């Protein structure tokens, strides 16, 4: 049992480090080979480092990024987790190393404004998202945002947006407002791409079903769709009656069919649907595998 747990922990560590290496490389490639040659920047510590390198020289980027990230590393060690501190330190070294290498030994990408904005933002977002999925981050401003959120109540998104707004305004005042505006577009594209990488492309929904026909609805969901469900117990706030509540996790593509199955069994059923950012299955069956099981069940019936 202990050996198996250790094996899983090592496999998880190797997987995280692999994601981190690839993510750091992609982020560095976007910054050094797409954004910087076209006089564009990212937000956060990377953006400030790019402004400094624009003033002092491109060779100063990795130095500026490392120096500016050290205080955030210290904050992460004191206020977050020791594991996060270690992973963030590794990510910082990888990103700075890749940026130094790519700046010296690789070709730069030039294109139309649309090509640069979309390609740079997508690659940067994928890289940053992979680093975050590995358990680290490249932007120390998120750590400041977490601290302010705990003490002042502002959301992390509000703090990060305010910091980045200041960075883009400063860049526009020092250099060019058109470049600052294009950099802001890249930031939003990277942010949305990063969210997709972190949360995954499989859009999962949680569905809560309140019905008087729990047995027939539950049986239909399991038999016709091949989905598992959980039965929870609640009480009506107005009626005070005890009742069963069905809870189902389903992929977005199967949501319409699920609603049809439920309403076919009970036209008066109450259905509440919510987005799920992440689901940890362990050894349980993933919805995509359940679809295969469902197809096999239908094939046998035919």
pLDDT in tens, 161-217: 888 889 999 999 998 899 899 999 998 898 888 877 876 655 678 899 998 888 899
CB 188 within 8 A of CB 42: no
Q: pTM here?
A: 0.70
Q: Is the pLDDT of residue 1 over 50?
A: no
Q: Which residue in the block uniquely carries the two structure tokens 């502002």?
A: 154
pLDDT over 70, % of the chain: 83
pLDDT of residue 257: 84
Q: In 3-state terms, what secondary structure has residue 293? A: helix
Q: Burial-class residue 255 by CB neighbours within 10 Å (0-12, 13-18, 19+).
A: middle
Which comes out higher in pLDDT, residue 119 or 103? 119
CATH 3.30.70.120 holds for 204-301: yes
Domain ranges of the chain: 2-199, 204-301
More confident residue, 144 or 213: 213
pLDDT tens-digit series, residues 265-290: 888 889 998 877 666 666 555 554 55
Residues across the chain: 302
Q: Residue 213: which residues within 8 A CB-CB, separation 6 or more?
A: 265, 266, 269
Q: Which two tokens stand for residue 7?
A: 């094996």
- DSSP 8-state assignment for residue 109: P
* pLDDT tens digits, one per residue of 20-38: 999 999 999 999 898 988 8
DSSP secondary structure string for all residues of 232-267: EEEE-TTT--EEEEEEEEEEHHHHHHHHHHHHHH-T
């Amino acid at each position: 049992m202990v050996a198996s747990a250790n094996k899983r922990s090592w496999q998880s560590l190797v997987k995280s480090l692999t994601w981190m290496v690839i993510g750091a490389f992609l982020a560095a490639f976007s910054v050094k080979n797409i954004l910087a040659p076209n006089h564009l920047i990212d937000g956060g510590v990377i953006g400030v480092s790019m402004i400094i390198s624009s003033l002092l020289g491109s060779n100063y980027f990795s130095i500026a990024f490392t120096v500016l990230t050290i205080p955030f590393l210290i904050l992460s060690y004191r206020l977050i987790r020791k594991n996060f501190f270690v992973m963030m330190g590794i990510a910082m070294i990888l990103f700075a190393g890749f940026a130094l290498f790519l700046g010296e030994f690789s070709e730069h990408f030039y294109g139309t404004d649309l090509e640069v904005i979309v390609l740079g933002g997508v690659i940067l977002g994928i890289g940053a998202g992979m680093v975050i999925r590995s358990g680290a981050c490249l932007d120390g401003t998120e750590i400041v945002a977490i601290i302010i959120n705990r003490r002042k109540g502002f959301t992390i998104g509000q703090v990060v947006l305010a910091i980045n707004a200041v960075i883009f305004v400063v860049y526009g005042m020092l250099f060019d407002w058109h470049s600052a505006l294009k950099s802001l577009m890249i930031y939003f594209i990277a942010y949305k791409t990063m969210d997709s990488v972190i949360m995954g492309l499989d859009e999962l929904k949680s569905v809560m079903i309140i019905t008087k026909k729990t047995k027939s609805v539950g049986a239909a969901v399991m038999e016709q769709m091949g989905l598992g469900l959980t039965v929870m117990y609640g009480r009506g706030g107005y009626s005070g009656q005890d009742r069963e509540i069905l809870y189902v996790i389903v992929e977005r593509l199967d949501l319409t069919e699920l609603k049809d199955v439920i309403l076919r069994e009970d036209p008066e059923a109450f259905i509440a649907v919510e987005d799920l950012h992440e689901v940890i299955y362990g050894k349980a069956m993933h919805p995509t595998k359940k679809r295969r099981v469902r197809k096999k069940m239908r094939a046998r019936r035919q």
